[in-house]
Chain A
Amino acid sequence: MNFDDVKLQLDTVLGRAIETGVSVQQNFPKVSRDGGGITLGTMAGSSIALRNVVYKDIYTEIESNELFHIKLPDGGLLIFQYTFHTDGVLKKHRLGFFPSPTLPTLEEAPELYRYDELYGDILSKQIVRFPIRFDFDPKNYRPRYHPHSHLTLGQFENCRIPVTHAVSPNGFLLFVLRNFYHQLYIRHTNVFEKKIPLCMTALCITANERGLPHFGFA
C-alpha cells in the first residue's frame, strides 16, 4: 500500500460516493508533505482522539469544523487519513465512521431522507450511537495490547480488536455501507462493486493475535 495507490483509490471512492448520493457533502482530502513523510487527508486538529468527551460533542466538533471527508445523507461522517514514509510506504492510517447522535439512521427512516420529509427528524426515540475506527499504527505496537492494525468500537480506551491488514479506502467504505447502509449499498451495488484500482497490503497480524478474536481484512 503506497501513496500513489491509495490516492488513486481514494479519489475513485470519493467519485463513486458523490455519484450515488452516498456523499451529500464532502471535503476533498488534502495532501501535505513534511520531513516525516506525506499525509493524505490531513485534518486540522485531531478531535477524533478525544476520549473523555461526550460523543455528541465529538460529533459536533467534527461536523461543524468540517473535519470529515464524506457526509452521508443521515449525517454519518467518514474520515480517511493515511500517512506515508518519505519513500511512499504506509506509516499509519486512521479511518473513522461517526454516525449522527441525533438523526435517525438511513436504515431506520429511509423515507425521511428519500422524500426529504419536512418534519421527518421529529422523532422522540433516542438511540445510542458510537464511533467506529480502524487504525493502523505499527510504531506503537505492543504485543497483546496494541496490534499493528486494529478496530476500535465506541470510546472504550483499550478496545483494539486485531485486524489482519491495513485497511484500504474502498475496503473501509464497503465495510460501512454493507453493514450500516444496507439499502443504499443494495441500490448502488453495481457502482460500488465495480473494479477499482488496488491497494495491495502485507499481512500485519502476529501469530499470537491470530489466536485471539480478530478481523480478517484483505
Chain B
Amino acid sequence: MLNIIWGSNKDKPEAAKALARLLSADAFHANGYLYIGYPIMGSPIGPVKFDALLLSRQYGLIAFDLVEGLEFVGFEQRLDDIASMLEVKLKPYPALKEGRKLKFEIHTFTFAPAKKALPDSAEPYVLTNRDNLLASVESCLGLSEVLFTNLLAAIQVVTSIRSGKLKREPKNAASRGARLKRVEESIANLDQHQSRAVIETVEGVQRIRGLAGSGKTIVLALKVAYLHSQNPDWKIAVTFNTRSLKDQFKRLINSFTIEQTSTEPDWERIDILNAWGGPGDKEQDGIYHKFCRAHGIDFLDFGVAKGRFGSGGAFGGAVAEALKFSSTINPLYDLILIDEAQDFPPEFLRLCHRFISDPKRLVYAYDELQSLTGNAVLPPEELFGRDASGKPIVEFDYSESAIPRQDIILEKCYRNPRPVLAAAHALGFGIYRTGGLVQFFDQNDLWTDVGYAVLEGQLESGHDVTLARTPETSPLFLEDHSPLDDLLSFVTFPDATAQAQWLFESIKNDIESEELRPEDIVVINPDPLKTQEAVGLVRRLLFGAGINSEIAGVSTSRDVFSKDGAVTFTGIFRAKGNEAGMVYVLNAQDCYSAFTKSQLALIRNRLFTALTRSKGWVRVLGVGPRMDDLALEWSRLKSQDYKLKFKYPTEEEKKLLRLINIEPTAKQTARERRLQRQRDELLQAIRDGDIDVNQLLSDFSSASKETGKK
C-alpha cells in the first residue's frame, strides 16, 4: 500500500494531485510513501524544495520535479539540483552507503501531466506525463527490505537538531545523572508519526491530539518552520497559554528554519504571541489584543474582564464580547497554530478562526486530560460554532484514508516511563478509587488512540477490561534504566515538617550523590493557592546547604525550568509544558478528594499533569489520611502490574460522568460547603456531648419520612 503524505505545495496543486491519483491507482502496486511538498533542505544557494518524493520497496527512491503547465525548460538543471541535495542528505548515514557511494540509485523524474507529447528522454533526465509515468516508475529497480527501512528512516528525519542541553558529564555510570543522560540521548529524534504530523498540511482546520510528552509542541514548531519555508509570504501566528513556551517556540522555530533553508526565519512574518496580550511593545502583544486593534473594539484588560465576568470566565467573556462587535472581519493571518488548546475557552478558538483568511488554515493541539481549569474540549463541529443556517462552521473528515489527515493523534509518549504514565491515568480517572471513576473518555477508541492495548475483555459498556501500554507506545528505554519501585513511589508523612525534611534530604542526595543537576529537579505543589507557604521550609533548608532554588511564578517566567543551578518549585500552572528528570509532588493529599465532582476532576487532572512532567523519576509526597488513601489507589495499580483493570462504564454511567464538566453555580457550591461545615460542626458537638444524639436521630427520621411522603 502506498501512503500519501500531503505537505504544502501551493505552487503546483494540479500536477501534485495528478501524480497522487496516478500512483494510487489500482493498477499500480507499491509499498511505501509518497511525499508531496517534502522535504525542503537548506543549501548555500538557498532552500531546495522538493515537489514530491516517492519511496517504495519495489521502485526505490524517485524524486519528482512537477510542471504545472506546458513549459519544462531548464528541467535538467532542476533535476541535477534535487539529486545532489538528496545525496547530501543521505550520505551521512553509514547504513545507506558502501564505501563512498550510495547503495541505491537516486532517480529523478520531471512530471508534466498537462503535456500531451514529450520529446525523447533518458536517465538521469526522465520526462514523464500521464501516459508514461507508471511505465517509467516501473522500470526502476527495487530495494532490499533492510535498505528500504533504513532509507525510510533517513527520509523521515525532519530535523537532525539535537536538544542543546546535553552538558552533563557524569562520573559514575550508575548515577541518576548518567541514566538521565542516556535517556535524553535516546529521545533526540522524531519518529515517523511525528514527522508525518509535521508535514501534512490541511487547507482548513487540523487537530492534533496527544498525550503529555508526545511531542505536540515540537511538532507545532516544526510545522511553523516547514510551512514558513514553503510559503515565505504567509503571515503565521503561534499562540499558547503558558508564557514559558514563548522562548521555547522561538528557539525551536529559529533552529528548524535555519536547518531547512540555511537562512533565519523572517520574524516579520511569524508572530509568537500570548493569547491575550496588551498594549505596549511587541513582546506584550497577543492575539486577542491584535484582534481588538484590527477591528476597533474596546480592549479589556484582565482587571476589567475579571470584574465583569469573574476570574474563571474573564478571558472567555472578553473574547465573546469582541466576537459580538466585529461585523467586518479583517483577517490578519494565513495560518494560526494553537498549543494547549484544552486551556482556552471555545470563544478564543472561534476568534482565531475568524482572524484567518480563507481557506482558514488553523492547527490546534491539545491533551484532553491536561485541562487544569475544568474546560473540556468540544468536538470541532461544536467548538467553532454554527453559521446562520445552523450548519457547523467546521466539519471534519475523520476517515483513516483522508488525505491529508485533519485529525492527528500522537500515541507514542516519549517523556514518561510507562508505570508513571499508567499511574497518571489511573489516578486521573480514578480507576482504582474507592468511590469509583472520576471522569472518563467519551469515545471508546480514544483508549487505543492514546496508546493502550486491550489485554483482556473489551472496551464495551458493562464489560471487564484490562488495558496496558505497550513498548510500541511507551518505549522501554524510558523505564529500563531503573527498577520499577525506583521510578515511582508514594510516601506519607505525619506532618508537613517531616515532609519538608525528607524532601530536603532527598534533593540533597540527588545532587550530591546522584549527579543530578539542580535544574533537573522540580518540586510541584498541586494547589495553586498554597504554593508559597508550602515550599518555604524546604527552600530555607536547601539554602542552608548551599543549594539554590527558585519559585516559578509571574516574574520568573522565562523558561521555567531552565535556570542553571537552581531547583525549581512551582505551582501547577507553571509546571505545564515543561519536564524534568526528577519530579517531587508535594502535598498530594490535596488531590485526593473534593467537595464537588467537578472540583474532584480538576484536582485529579492536576495530579495527572504533575506526574506527567517527569522523564525519569517521580516521588509523590503527602500528609495525613487522605494521602494514605491516595497511596492505596497506587498500590492497587502496582499490584496489577501497572495495568488498568476495571469494569467499563455503561452509556448511562458515562453520561453521569460527563456531567462533571458542568460547573455548578457559585451559589450552589457555597451552599454545599456551608452544609458540609454545619455537618462537621454537628458531629463535633455530638462528640463533645453538647447534643442529645437520640433526640437528633428521631428528628432526622421524622424529617426523612416527610421527604418520603413528598
| Complex contact A24–B551 (CB within 8 A) | yes
Say yes or no: is B608 at the interface (Cβ < 8 Å to chain A). no
Q: Which of B24-42 contact A (CB under 8 A)?
A: none
Query: How many pairs of residues, A versus B, come closer than 8 Å at their CB atoms?
Result: 100
In the complex with contacts A26-B550, A116-B531, A122-B302 CB distance below 8 A:
yes
Say yes or no: is A145 at the interface (Cβ < 8 Å to chain B). no
Say yes or no: is A161 at the interface (Cβ < 8 Å to chain B). no
Say yes or no: is A74 at the interface (Cβ < 8 Å to chain B). yes
Q: How far is the CA of A123 from the CA of B278 in the complex (A)?
A: 7
Question: Chain B nearest CB: distance from A17 CB in Å?
Answer: 9
| Complex contact A15–B540 (CB within 8 A) | yes
Q: Which of B634-686 contact A (CB under 8 A)?
A: none
Q: How far is the CA of A121 from the CA of B553 in the complex (A)?
A: 11
Say yes or no: is A19 at the interface (Cβ < 8 Å to chain B). yes
Interface string of A10-46 (1 = CB under 8 A from B): 0000110011110011111000000000000000000
Residues of A within 8 A of B554 (CB): 73-75, 103, 112-113, 116, 120-121
| Complex contact A72–B555 (CB within 8 A) | yes
| Complex contact B573–A116 (CB within 8 A) | yes
Residues of B within 8 A of A102 (CB): 280, 284
| Complex contact B555–A24 (CB within 8 A) | yes
Interface string of B312-337 (1 = CB under 8 A from A): 00110000000000000000000000
Residues of B within 8 A of A19 (CB): 536-537, 539-540
Q: Which of B299, B311, B544, B555 contacts A71 (CB 8 A)?
A: B555
Interface string of B528-552 (1 = CB under 8 A from A): 1101110111011001101011110
Residues of A within 8 A of B536 (CB): 18-21
| Complex contact B555–A21 (CB within 8 A) | no
| Complex contact B276–A122 (CB within 8 A) | yes
With CB as the reference atom, state the residue of chain A lying closest to B569: A24
| Complex contact B529–A115 (CB within 8 A) | yes
Residues of B within 8 A of A74 (CB): 554-555
| Complex contact B301–A124 (CB within 8 A) | yes
| Complex contact B574–A116 (CB within 8 A) | yes
Say yes or no: is B303 at the interface (Cβ < 8 Å to chain A). yes
Residues of A within 8 A of B284 (CB): 102
Say yes or no: is B563 at the interface (Cβ < 8 Å to chain A). yes
Residues of A within 8 A of B531 (CB): 116
Q: How far is the CA of A100 from the CA of B556 in the complex (A)?
A: 12
Q: How far is the CA of A109 from the CA of B301 in the complex (A)?
A: 13
| Complex contact B540–A18 (CB within 8 A) | yes
Say yes or no: is A87 at the interface (Cβ < 8 Å to chain B). no
Say yes or no: is B359 at the interface (Cβ < 8 Å to chain A). no
- Of the listed residues A18, A25, A28, A115, the one surrounded by the most CB atoms of chain B closer than 10 A to its CB is A18
| Complex contact B553–A116 (CB within 8 A) | yes
Say yes or no: is A179 at the interface (Cβ < 8 Å to chain B). no
Interface residues of A, count at CB 8 A: 35
Residues of B within 8 A of A126 (CB): 280
Say yes or no: is B114 at the interface (Cβ < 8 Å to chain A). no
Say yes or no: is A119 at the interface (Cβ < 8 Å to chain B). yes
Question: Chain B nearest CB: distance from A73 CB in Å?
Answer: 6
Question: Chain A nearest CB: distance from B644 CB in Å?
Answer: 31
Question: Chain A nearest CB: distance from B547 CB in Å?
Answer: 10
Interface string of A199-215 (1 = CB under 8 A from B): 00000000000000000
Say yes or no: is A114 at the interface (Cβ < 8 Å to chain B). yes
Say yes or no: is A117 at the interface (Cβ < 8 Å to chain B). yes
Question: Chain B nearest CB: distance from A3 CB in Å?
Answer: 19
In the complex with contacts A24-B553, A113-B554, A122-B280 CB distance below 8 A:
no
Residues of B within 8 A of A21 (CB): 532-533, 535-536, 551
| Complex contact A14–B543 (CB within 8 A) | yes
With CB as the reference atom, state the residue of chain B lying closest to A126: B280
Say yes or no: is A118 at the interface (Cβ < 8 Å to chain B). yes
| Complex contact A121–B302 (CB within 8 A) | yes
Question: Chain A nearest CB: distance from B341 CB in Å?
Answer: 14
| Complex contact A25–B550 (CB within 8 A) | yes
Residues of B within 8 A of A125 (CB): 301, 303
With CB as the reference atom, state the residue of chain A lying closest to B571: A116
Interface string of B340-380 (1 = CB under 8 A from A): 00010000000000000000000000000000000000000
| Complex contact B551–A122 (CB within 8 A) | no
Question: Chain B nearest CB: distance from A47 CB in Å?
Answer: 19
| Complex contact A25–B302 (CB within 8 A) | no
Residues of A within 8 A of B278 (CB): 122-124
| Complex contact A15–B544 (CB within 8 A) | yes
Q: How far is the CA of A78 from the CA of B30 in the complex (A)?
A: 68
Say yes or no: is B566 at the interface (Cβ < 8 Å to chain A). yes
In the complex with contacts A18-B539, A25-B556, A71-B556, A122-B532 CB distance below 8 A:
no
Interface string of A117-145 (1 = CB under 8 A from B): 11111111110000000000000000000
Interface string of B624-642 (1 = CB under 8 A from A): 0000000000000000000
Residues of A within 8 A of B546 (CB): 28
Q: Which of B301, B311, B571 contacts A122 (CB 8 A)?
A: B301
Q: How far is the CA of A210 from the CA of B566 in the complex (A)?
A: 46
Residues of B within 8 A of A109 (CB): 303
Say yes or no: is B277 at the interface (Cβ < 8 Å to chain A). yes
Interface, chain A (partner B; CB < 8 A): 14-15, 18-21, 24-28, 71-75, 100, 102-103, 109, 112-126
Complex A-B: 10 CB contacts under 8 Å: A21-B532, A28-B548, A71-B556, A73-B555, A102-B280, A103-B554, A115-B529, A118-B241, A123-B278, A123-B303
Q: Which 10 A-B pairs have the closest CB atoms?
A: A75-B555, A19-B540, A21-B532, A25-B550, A24-B551, A122-B302, A124-B301, A122-B276, A19-B536, A119-B302
